[in-house]
Structure 1
Amino acid sequence: MDASFLLITFFLAGLAALGTLSMMSEARAFFVFGDSLVDNGNNNFLLTTARADLPPYGIDYPTHRPTGRFSNGLNMPDIISEHLGAEPTLPYLSPELRGEKLLVGANFASAGIGILNDTGIQFLNIIRIDRQLVYFEQYKQRLSSVVGEAQMKKLVNQALVLITLGGNDFVNNYYLVPFSARSREFALPDYVRYLISEYKKILGRLYELGARRVMVTGTGPLGCVPSELAQRGRNGECAAELQRAASLFNPQLDRTLIELNRKFGSDVFISANAFKMHMDYISDPGSYGFVTSKIACCGQGPYNGLGLCTAASNLCPNRNLYSFWDAFHPTEKANRIIVSQFMIGSSEYMNPMNLSTILAMDAST
């Protein structure tokens, strides 16, 4: 075989590789920031107690093994990736996230974190939101080394972003213990205003880093999760004080997103009404095929709401009949119901537009 033939072969192979990179870089990337509702396994790589790396977590995942997702199977980012026609985003800390995998996006979320840096301190080593944004900057540098600066900026600008924060700032901070430091410092309405002011800075930083399509979830009905039913609820009723916190937080977050969109002159931030999405099936579980929206599938104590989900916990045989997997997190089936509203929900669920509209609109530009 002569040298000229070898040179031509290597040249054609190089063109093919470049073509593959080019096609992959045209696919829409997906970035995820936030807490355990959207963590795909970053905490597996940390010395922390906020982990979902042991059975029965992952019992209904394709591998039937725990992955670090706080679910029996897929979580919200996984299901959104399905709708994007993409593979699930890898945790940023995963050693597999390199080369062409960077073009898919990355998941920076970490169970236990909140808007505030003192939220979740009991979990020790977690990736707080400011560190998640630092990792995003590092990601951009890594991606730039693969596709170049211009292509990196294009990919980030055109990407879809999901951010889920706020619940832990109440459950694992303000209301974590009676007379917590934050509850002594702030009355609830003042605490909510403080959270919103800090969240606004985080969202502004995301914009500075190039995010242009950001879905922002409000908190769900915090008082209705099995943990709060067990500890604070009365006769199975949602805990009123936690519900009040959500009712104060979510409208202020919506107004903040409108203000930011006016500031930036476009619909950068999309409000996802997680409270209503959850309350639909919590209020009427039978209509969604659930036998209960109060009892967790995996746990112990009243409503299976106390302690962790472990191999020694009570475990329901059919996860599709339960809206809650553990004391705090939805089952895969409930996550699919939530994401369906992301996709096609009316303006009372997704404002100013749903994800299907976003994808169709952006595809035409």
Structure 2
Amino acid sequence: MAKKIVNISSCFVVIGIILALGDLVTCREERRAFFVFGDSLVDNGNNNYLITTARADAPPYGIDFPSHRPTGRFSNGLNIPDIISEEMGWEPTLPYLSPELRGPRLRVGANFASAGVGVLNDTGIQFVNIIRIYQQLHYFAEYQQRLRALIGEEETERLVKESLTLITLGGNDFVNNYYLVPYSARSRQFSLEEYVPFVISEYEKVLQKLYSLGARRVIVTGTGPLGCVPAELAQHSRNGECAEELQKAAELFNPQLVRMLRELNDEIGNDVFIAANTKQMHMDFISEPQRFGFITSKIACCGQGPYNGLGLCTPISNLCPNRNLYVFWDPFHPSERANRLIVQQILRGSEKYMQPMNLSTIMALDSRA
């Protein structure tokens, strides 16, 4: 069926159709607050305010952003939270550390994400000064205190309860921890088969804390295809094949994450946590890039060395003329166009991509609550 744009009242009418037929609906309602936690895939500028090497504040980052300037997003343009806000008709969130996040703008929500972080506190230690996940959660509590001073206790509780949350963690716990160097501390401590459930168990604690802070609709993304990013191809691939060990890590992690989220929801008695299968979303592009209008899924638009996968994206890097033709913008991160396709699956994807429901269905269900 064709995409329909409807308002809240229309959602009441079509909710049964959505659930029965999987209709593609986006309910553009009066905005909900939107909160974002996680790593560089969703950071929209917090690391600009930190003394860290995990930054995207120099050209050509932001070359396709509306301002054509770097913003701290690890993208040529918009990232996943930006595009979700755009699709929902919401004002985009500001980084929590931004001095502009004050007064009425607090009602919009906030982005607490920080490039380089993982589930574990020792992930990303080489970046030194990043906002680790429990510090992000501390900032969320602090944010609520600031909001209470503005709109009062009852209204703050309602705003947080009715909000949407996105959290993206896990990839760095492999790329920037377990596999960062040969014989890393974590790889000596755990086999991969032991490490994955350890990370999952620690992630569960993070999500329980997020729930205790009031979040009630939380989209949790899995890791992407870790072994297929240009950075890993440059180091481990001879003929463009994905790095087997990192792919195995993603294949172990993602099903265990989905299972953990299902168990958490069962304990709570409601579908609070929604699993987004971003590995499958990425693999669609990687397996058949031409089908989605890309010319390659192996070479980064911006970088150097094999597959443009070595080092950082800098002003002296190779730079492709048309970013829309590349799955990957830099050695690790999707292009804006790839992010847009991922968001379409978050919004309207089947259970192959979103469990137990997609974002359009969430919005329609909540509109009648």
Distance in 1, matches of 2:233 and 2:260, equals: 30
After superposing on structure 2, the runs of 4+ consecutive aligned residues of structure 1 that deviate more than 6 Å are none
- Listed as ranges, the matches of 1:188-203 within 5 Å are 188-203=192-207
Q: Which residue of 2 aligns with 1:28?
A: 32
Which one of the candidate residues 130, 136, 144 is aligned to 1:140? 144
What's the CA shift for 1:84?
A: 1.9
CA distance in 1, matches of 2:88, 2:106: 16
Q: Does 1:128 align with 2:113?
A: no
Instruction: Give the whole-Å Cα distance in 2 for the aligned partners of 1:70 and 1:356.
Output: 26
In our comparison, the structure showing a higher alpha carbon Rg is: 1
Which residue matches 1:10? none
Q: How far off its partner does 1:155 sit?
A: 0.4
Match of 1:149 in 2: 153
Q: 2:149, 2:317 → 1: CA distance? A: 47
Q: Does the 8 Å contact 1:48/1:125 carry over to 2?
A: yes
Identical positions, percent: 73
Counterpart mapping for 1:32-111 below 5 A: 32-111=36-115
Cα deviation code 1:295-345 (max 9, x no counterpart): 000000000000000000000000000010000000000000000000000
SS of 1:271's equivalent in the other structure is strand
By how many angstroms is 1:83 displaced? Answer: 1.7
- Listed as ranges, the matches of 1:168-207 within 5 Å are 168-207=172-211
Q: CA deviation at 1:27?
A: 2.5
* TM-score, L = length of structure 2: 0.92
Which residue of the partner structure matches residue 118 of structure 2? 114
Counterpart CA distance in 2 for 1:193 and 1:27 is 37
Root-mean-square deviation over aligned CA pairs? 0.9
Which letter maps to 1:96? E
Task: Structure 2: give runs of 5+ residues left out of the alignment.
Answer: 1-28
TM-score (norm. length: structure 1) = 0.93
Say yes or no: does 1:233 pair with 2:237: yes
Could you tell me which amino acid in structure 2 is paired with residue 68 of structure 1? G
Deviations 1:187-246 (A, max 9, x none): 001000110000000000000000000000000000000000000123100000000000
Structure number with greater CO (CA < 8 Å, separation at least 6) is 2
Distance 1:295 1:197 in 2: 34
- Tell me if structure 2 keeps the 8 A contact 1:219–1:250: yes
Match of 2:271 in 1: 267
Find the aligned partners of 1:186 and 1:232 in 2 and give their Cα distance: 22
In 2: Cα distance, 1:83 partner to 1:48 partner: 32
Report which stretch shifted further, 79-88 or 213-222. Answer: 79-88
Distance 1:179 1:228 in 2: 17
CA shift, 1:26, in A, is 5.8
Matched-pair contact (CA < 8 Å) for 1:81–1:87: yes
